[in-house]
Structures are given as structure tokens and as C-alpha cells.
């Protein structure tokens, strides 16, 4: 589908009540707008951009899609504006200049307001004996930006280029002077700059913190809390004994049908079944376990996940180290589904609450019975863990899935052998990518995606 006046539906113009202002809201990229500080969208690109002529009958145009704050008046006299992202979304966006816009329609003015976010991502480089930060697609001295009132107090840092020990110590000093805490996104620098085990943010410290959070779910902790705070909470010994009775065995929270009329027994039994299931889940989630405080994704392949076909799609993260790749496709073609494939491959779920959700069959491509994922992780110990999952549509309940999972550990040498044996066709050429995107944009085509992430 081309985004031209002949193919686009008209905006509605007829409204009851003779409104003083009509402001269209639209999510999309218009030709001639900034994609970033150094790149404009192409007015002649009828696959990815919309023409401003489409909205020439309106005085105002409130837009979303591009995360860069910008506004202007086009040749048709329409005042248009993108407010940008409310807060920084990822490392590709600048650390500041995020917030919302207030439109004064009568004065035809747009006022921008920044919103403070305590967390952020920055890219640094040590140039000419000082630290520089990437801002508006160029590097400027860090001290020109770090004093900005909207600069966050907790940053995740990526460093481009080389720096010696003295430069690293200078960076630590600057961050400390401004009360900024940090972590490093770059794997190599993380190993070089990682604090000793006993220091905050060290591996032993992180492990102890994970164990501490897990211990907070232990019922014994609640019982001790009631005992130590009994006076303040005005709890007597019988109260404490009763609470201890309940929290020592959470299954006692089920209800006895003898206390209710027979008409309610079915509902009570159903509720008890849910309580028992939740209790068993809590027992599993709070049981002692070895914790991996960190891991890195090395490789993933999947098929029949969301809109992806039965041909293997794959990403070799080993090839992406210290490189910038983009996954480029129009809306609705499966970019976000890659993140779903990754979380499915690791946890077997796409929800944040992995233990209490029921995974539906919508993750499997339409009209397909099965989907698979295989992911390789490098653990903190240095070992490689391969997780293979197979998702089936249930025969009697086709809207739900059954998940099979197998695990295997192997060494670095075995991982390299695995990569060598896993051979897929090479990356598509630029021409093939363009033809593929044209196919994806067609409303009559069946969505599929490139076989790999493409540069």
C-alpha cells in the first residue's frame, strides 16, 4: 500500500455544533519531518511517510510516532507538532529534552515542558583528554550537560572508543561529585570496571540483595514482624498465636463448605481450588534456589511466533557486539514480536508476571499448530545454557497452549561448534530488504519477516 492521496481515506470534516477548533490526532510519520537530529523523512517515500497535503483542510495537526520533539507550520498553513517521548525510552534517544507540549490554539503557539526522569541512558567517549557525551547526534563535553536540572541521578552508561585507567577514574570522580549512580551496559567495560565482590554493585552484593528480596516472601518473616511489632500493633498473645497458625500453612486460607448453604458450595470449591493453586505457586516461587544475577543472550532462533513464518528467524548476538543494528519494518510487521520471542524463549511467557498468567495460543501464528524457540544464554559462571521450547495448540482448548522445554549446558567450545552447525542463508541485500518492505506494506500480503536482524 502506498501512502498517497489516492489511497488514503479522507479525514472527517463534518461535526455537530460548529466547533471553534478541529484538531486531528494521528500516529504516523509525515514527509519532511525529523527522524532524528541529522535525518529528515523523505517527502517522496510513499511507503513510510504521509503527505501533509492529506491534512491541508485543518489549522492544527497533533502527531505521534516520532520520538523527537518538533513542530512547525507547513506550506498549507497547518500548525503541526510531535511532542516526542514523555521520558527517554532507550539509548537511541537523548538524555534530556523529553516531556509534553501545551497548545495555545487561539495564539497558534506550542509550549514545550520537560519532565524529570531519575533514570536514563547515556553514551560517553573520552576525547581530547575529557569526557564527552552524545547529544543531538554529536559529542559535547559532559560538563555542559551534567549540570542540567533534568539530567538523571541514575544512569546506564555505554562507552564508545578506548579509555585508560586514569580516564575511568576521572569519570568515577565526575559522577560522584554530582551524586550520580551508574552501571555499564558494555560487557567488556563491565568486566574491566566491575567493583570488588564486597563493594555495592559487586557480584556478591547483588546476590545477597536478590536473596534478601526472596526472603521477604517467607511467611516466617511475617510472623517475626507481628511478634516484634505486637505492642505497636496492639496484638495480644492469642492474636499472635492465631496469625502464626494461619501463616505457617497458607493452605488454611481455604474455606469450609460446611459454613455456607449448599447453593454456594460450587462457588466455594472453585475459590478453594484457586487458593490452593496460588499457594502452590507461592511455595515454588519462594523455595530456595540458585540465583543468576546476570546473563547475556548469545543467540536465538524461532519460527511460527506471532506473524513469523515456519522458516527459521534468527539473531546471532555474537555478531552484534560493539555494533549498531536496526530492525526496520512498517508498523504491524513484527518488530515488537522479536521481544516477545526472546521472553518466550527464556521464561516461556510474554507477561511480566511469569508465574500467574495463562499463556494464550495467540503467540502461535494463525492456522499453525506449533511454534518453537531456541535461545543460548551465557551465565555469570561462564557456562552456556541452551533453552529449547515447543509450544502446541491444545486440541480440546485451541485458545490455550502447552509448553515443552528442554535445557542443556555446554562450554564455550561447544557453543562455537553449535554456531558453526547452525547454518542459515546470508543476510538479505539492500535491494532484497527494500522489496521485502514493499511486500510487508501491501494490505493483501501475508505478513512475514526477514530471516535475521539486518544492518
Q: Say which CATH number the domain at 179 has.
A: 3.30.420
State the pLDDT at residue 52.
93
Instruction: From 98, 114, 130, give the residue that closes a domain.
Output: 114
**pLDDT (mean) for 249-258:** 77
Co-location of 142 and 104 in the same domain: no
Q: Of 328 and 101, which is predicted with more confidence? A: 101
Mean pLDDT across the chain: 79
Q: Say whether pLDDT at 451 is over 50.
A: no
Co-location of 140 and 107 in the same domain: no
* Share of residues in the chain with pLDDT > 70 (%): 78
Q: Among 62-76, 275-289, 358-372, 400-414, which is the least confidently predicted range?
A: 275-289
Domain for residue 452, yes or no?
A: no
β-pairing, 119-127 with 154-159? Answer: parallel
Q: Of 296 and 80, which is predicted with more confidence? A: 80
Domain for residue 374, yes or no?
A: yes
Q: Of 327 and 121, which is predicted with more confidence? A: 121
State the pLDDT at residue 453.
42
CATH classification of the domain holding 354? 3.40.50.300
Co-location of 76 and 141 in the same domain: no
- In the chain, how long is the greatest CA-to-CA distance? 82
Domain for residue 351, yes or no?
A: yes
Instruction: From 114, 133, 148, give the residue that closes a domain.
Output: 114
Asked if 361 contacts 398 with a C-beta cutoff of 8 angstroms, the reply is: yes
Give CA separation, 253 vs 262, 278, 355, 357, in Å: 20, 11, 20, 21
Q: Of 229 and 354, which is predicted with more confidence? A: 229
Co-location of 360 and 382 in the same domain: yes
Sign of the CA dihedral 429, 430, 431, 432? positive
CB under 8 Å to 413, separation ≥6 — which residues?
none
Domain for residue 341, yes or no?
A: yes
Co-location of 310 and 415 in the same domain: yes
Q: Among 205-219, 226-240, 341-355, 411-425, which is the least confidently predicted range?
A: 205-219
**pLDDT (mean) for 331-351:** 84
Domain for residue 380, yes or no?
A: yes
Co-location of 400 and 303 in the same domain: yes
CB under 8 Å to 440, separation ≥6 — which residues?
329, 330, 333, 447, 448, 449
Instruction: From 99, 114, 129, give the residue that closes a domain.
Output: 114
Asked if 342 contacts 300 with a C-beta cutoff of 8 angstroms, the reply is: yes
For cell 496484638, the residue is 235
Domain for residue 206, yes or no?
A: no
Structure confidence at residue 372 as a pLDDT band (50, 70, 90): very high
Q: What grid cell was written down for 372?
A: 518453537
Co-location of 168 and 220 in the same domain: no
pLDDT in tens, 393-425: 877 666 667 778 888 888 878 887 877 776 554
Q: Give me the domain span that covers residue 317.
A: 296-422
**pLDDT (mean) for 295-302:** 90
Give CA separation, 366 vs 273, 341, 393, 437, 446, in Å: 33, 16, 11, 21, 11
Co-location of 72 and 108 in the same domain: yes
Asked if 350 contacts 370 with a C-beta cutoff of 8 angstroms, the reply is: no
State the pLDDT at residue 16.
80
* Share of residues in the chain with pLDDT > 90 (%): 30
pTM of the model: 0.47
Q: Say whether pLDDT at 442 is over 90.
A: no
Give CA separation, 6 vs 12, 41, 440, in Å: 16, 21, 20
Task: Report how far residue 347's alpha carbon sits from residue 445's, in angstroms, rounded to the nearest whole number.
Answer: 32
Co-location of 71 and 167 in the same domain: no
Structure confidence at residue 360 as a pLDDT band (50, 70, 90): confident
Question: How many structural domains are present in the chain?
Answer: 4
Asked if 337 contacts 327 with a C-beta cutoff of 8 angstroms, the reply is: no
**pLDDT (mean) for 265-291:** 73
CB under 8 Å to 237, separation ≥6 — which residues?
none
Q: Say whether pLDDT at 354 is over 50.
A: no
Q: Of 103 and 192, which is predicted with more confidence? A: 103
Is 66 buried (19+), middle (13-18) or exposed (0-12) by CB count in 10 A?
buried
Answer left, alpha or beta for residue 166, where phi above 0 means left and psi between -120 and 50 means alpha. Answer: alpha
397 Cα distance to chain centroid? 30
**pLDDT (mean) for 152-158:** 93
**pLDDT (mean) for 362-386:** 87
State the pLDDT at residue 116.
92
Structure confidence at residue 212 as a pLDDT band (50, 70, 90): low
Co-location of 314 and 412 in the same domain: yes
Q: Say whether pLDDT at 197 is over 50.
A: no
Q: Among 40-54, 87-101, 105-119, 200-214, which is the least confidently predicted range?
A: 200-214
Co-location of 321 and 228 in the same domain: no
Co-location of 145 and 54 in the same domain: no
In 306-374, which residue ranges form alpha helices assigned H by DSSP? 335-347
Domain for residue 181, yes or no?
A: yes
CB under 8 Å to 426, separation ≥6 — which residues?
none
pLDDT in tens, 25-61: 999 999 989 887 777 887 777 778 899 999 999 999 9
Structure confidence at residue 211 as a pLDDT band (50, 70, 90): low
Q: What DSSP designation does 133 have?
A: E
Q: Of 33 and 362, which is predicted with more confidence? A: 33
Domain for residue 13, yes or no?
A: no
pLDDT in tens, 123-143: 999 998 999 999 998 999 999
Amino acid at each position: 500500500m502506498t501512502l498517497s492521496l489516492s489511497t488514503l481515506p479522507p479525514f472527517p470534516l463534518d461535526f455537530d455544533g460548529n466547533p471553534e477548533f478541529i484538531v486531528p490526532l494521528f500516529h504516523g510519520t509525515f514527509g519532511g519531518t525529523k527522524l532524528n537530529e541529522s535525518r529528515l523523512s523523505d517527502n517522496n517515500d510513499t511507503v513510510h511517510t504521509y503527505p501533509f497535503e492529506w491534512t491541508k483542510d485543518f489549522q492544527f495537526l497533533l502527531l505521534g510516532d516520532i520520538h523527537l520533539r518538533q513542530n512547525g507550520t507547513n506550506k498549507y498553513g497547518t500548525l503541526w507538532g510531535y511532542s516526542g517521548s514523555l521520558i527517554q525510552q532507550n539509548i537511541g534517544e537523548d538524555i534530556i529534552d523529553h516531556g509534553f507540549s501545551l497548545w495555545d490554539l487561539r495564539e497558534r503557539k506550542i509550549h514545550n515542558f520537560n519532565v524529570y526522569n531519575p533514570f536514563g541512558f547515556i553514551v560517553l567517549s573520552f576525547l581530547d583528554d575529557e569526557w564527552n557525551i552524545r547529544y543531538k547526534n554529536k559529542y559535547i563535553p559532559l560538563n555542559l550537560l551534567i549540570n542540567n536540572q533534568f539530567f538523571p541521578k541514575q544512569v546506564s552508561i555505554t562507552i564508545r572508543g578506548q579509555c585508560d585507567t586514569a580516564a575511568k577514574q576521572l569519570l568515577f570522580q565526575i559522577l560522584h561529585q554530582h551524586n550520580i549512580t551508574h552501571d555499564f551496559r558494555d560487557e567488556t567495560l563491565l568486566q574491566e570496571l566491575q567493583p570488588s565482590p564486597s563493594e555495592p554493585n559487586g557480584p556478591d552484593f547483588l546476590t545477597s540483595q536478590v536473596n534478601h528480596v526472596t526472603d521477604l516472601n517467607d511467611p516466617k518473616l511475617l510472623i517475626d514482624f507481628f511478634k516484634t511489632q505486637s505492642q505497636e500493633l496492639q496484638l495480644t498473645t492469642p492474636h499472635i498465636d492465631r496469625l502464626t497458625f494461619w501463616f505457617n500453612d497458607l493452605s488454611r486460607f481455604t474455606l469450609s463448605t460446611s459454613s455456607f448453604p449448599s447453593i454456594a458450595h460450587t462457588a466455594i470449591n472453585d475459590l478453594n481450588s484457586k487458593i490452593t493453586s496460588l499457594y502452590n505457586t507461592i511455595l515454588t516461587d519462594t523455595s530456595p534456589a540458585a540465583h543468576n544475577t546476570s546473563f547475556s543472550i548469545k543467540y536465538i532462533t524461532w519460527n511460527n511466533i506471532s506473524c513469523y513464518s515456519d522458516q527459521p528467524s534468527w539473531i546471532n548476538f555474537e555478531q552484534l557486539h560493539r555494533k549498531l543494528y536496526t530492525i526496520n519494518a512498517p508498523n504491524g510487521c513484527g518488530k515488537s514480536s522479536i521481544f516477545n520471542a526472546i521472553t518466550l524463549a527464556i521464561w516461556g511467557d510474554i507477561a511480566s508476571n511469569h508465574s500467574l498468567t495463562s499463556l494464550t495460543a495467540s503467540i502461535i501464528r494463525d492456522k499453525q499448530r506449533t511454534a518453537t524457540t531456541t535461545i543460548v544464554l551465557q551465565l555469570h559462571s561462564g557456562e552456556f545454557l541452551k533453552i529449547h521450547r515447543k509450544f502446541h495448540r491444545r486440541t480440546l482448548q485451541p485458545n490455550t497452549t502447552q509448553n515443552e522445554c528442554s535445557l542443556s549446558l555446554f562450554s564455550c567450545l561447544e557453543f562455537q561448534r553449535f554456531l558453526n552447525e547452525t547454518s542459515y542463508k546470508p543476510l538479505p541485500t539492500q535491494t532484497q530488504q527494500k522489496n521485502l518492505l514493499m511486500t510487508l506494506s501491501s494490505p493483501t500480503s501475508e505478513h512475514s519477516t526477514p530471516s535475521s536482524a539486518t544492518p
